[in-house]
Amino acid sequence: MRHNAAALCHTESMDNLFSINTAAARLDCHPETLRRIIRRGELAATKIGRDWRVRETDLDEFLAARTVPAKPASEEIAA
């Protein structure tokens, strides 16, 4: 069986696309909250037909940008 190299590369580079409901569940927020975040331009999304889709990498970057590092235990006790 021969594989089309271009198709194989395209498949390997594709991100998972999440629906608004699935992405909202991953963020533990309401789908309408996620729609507002997208409308404000804080999270990239793609409209396919009538539905919005969010790439997994965009969702991961969105979360990483909002993650606050934990304080070391010694700082919490001293404060």
User: pLDDT tens digits for the chain (79 residues)?
Assistant: 444 444 434 444 457 999 999 999 999 999 999 999 999 999 999 999 999 999 999 999 999 998 888 888 776 665 5
Q: Which domains, ranges and CATH numbers included, belong to the chain?
A: 11-66 (1.10.10)
pTM for this structure?
Answer: 0.69
50: left (phi > 0), else alpha (psi -120 to 50), else beta?
alpha
Q: How many degrees, rounded to 5, is the angle at CA 17 between CA 15 and CA 23?
A: 125
Instruction: Please report the pLDDT score of residue 22 as a whole number.
Output: 97
- Measured over the CA atoms of residue 38, residue 41, residue 42 and residue 46, the dihedral's sign is positive
